[in-house]
Chains A and B, each alone.
Chain A
Amino acid sequence: SYVLTQPPSVSVAPGQTARLTCGGNNIRSKSVHWYQQRPGQAPVLVVYNDNGRPSGIPERFSGSNSGNTATLTISRVEAGDEADFYCQVWEASNDHWVFGGGTKLTVL
């Protein structure tokens, strides 16, 4: 089955740019979605279909997908952005969702 690989943690200072990666074999051929999960809360969709942004999500959140790596970029990071982030794709061969292991974003 398809595997998504995320770094366990990323740290960034306030006001800087955070880049969270999601690796997968030829992931560029898939649509990648990203969720933010704050402690004790349910996940929230922040990017869909590689680079779409749901209503209500700040423009600071953007996505890209190329080769074997998809990236969620958070510009001008704020303390409130601190959370776990998960990438997700749909595996067409068996109609399953696949999640990456998640990245904990720490704002220093």
Chain B
Amino acid sequence: QVRLVESGGGVVQPGRSLRLSCAASGFTFSTYAIHWVRQAPGKGLEWVAVLSDDGSIKYYADSVKGRFTISRDNSKNTLYLQMNSLRPEDTAVYYCAREGLNAYYSDYWGQGTLVTVSS
């Protein structure tokens, strides 16, 4: 079955960096675009970034552009999110979400990993 497992979250000071991972299994990872979506405590969903199946096309939300970098290693079935210059407002649960084939929605989500930016 399709599985997405995020890891790498934790508590980090403002201005520092963190790298999240999303390990995929149960499907042909290299065939799908994957998104990062975050959710601040008690708030709604916020789209963060997307990376195409082959890693050649990527887009970012304005709120993270220039600070976050999305990447993937299809040989390891893993998606990454490198987060630099972290701010308190980046505190959230970060989900990876598979984009359906020929679709503009997510058909599977991971369980999320919590990132807390605090001094």
- Give the tally of cross-chain contacts (CB within 8 A): 60
Could you tell me which residues of chain B, from 50 to 97, have a CB within 8 Å of some CB in chain A?
50, 57, 59, 61, 95, 97
**Which A19-45 residues have C-beta < 8 A from chain B?**
31, 33, 35, 37, 41-45
Q: How long is the Cα–Cα vector from A100 to B43 in the complex, in angstroms?
A: 11
Interface string of A69-106 (1 = CB under 8 A from B): 00000000000000010101110001111111110000
Known contacts A43-B109, A45-B105: A94-B45 contact under CB 8 Å: no
Bound complex: CA A12 to CA B44 (Å): 21
Q: Is the CB of B46 within 8 A of A99?
A: yes
Number of B positions contacting A (CB below 8 A): 22
The secondary-structure label for the interface of chain B is: strand
Of all chain A residues, the one with the shortest Cβ separation from B60 is A96
A33 to B95 alpha-carbon distance, docked (Å): 17
Question: How far in angstroms is the closest Cβ of chain B from A37?
Answer: 8
CB-defined contacts of B106 to chain A, threshold 8 Å? 35, 43, 45
Q: How far in angstroms is the closest Cβ of chain A from B27?
A: 15
- Contact between B95 and A97 (Cβ–Cβ < 8 Å)? no
In order of increasing CB-CB distance, the 3 nearest A-B pairs are A90-B104, A33-B105, A97-B47
B residues apposed to A, CB below 8 Å:
35, 37, 44-47, 50, 57, 59, 61, 95, 97, 100, 103-107, 109-112
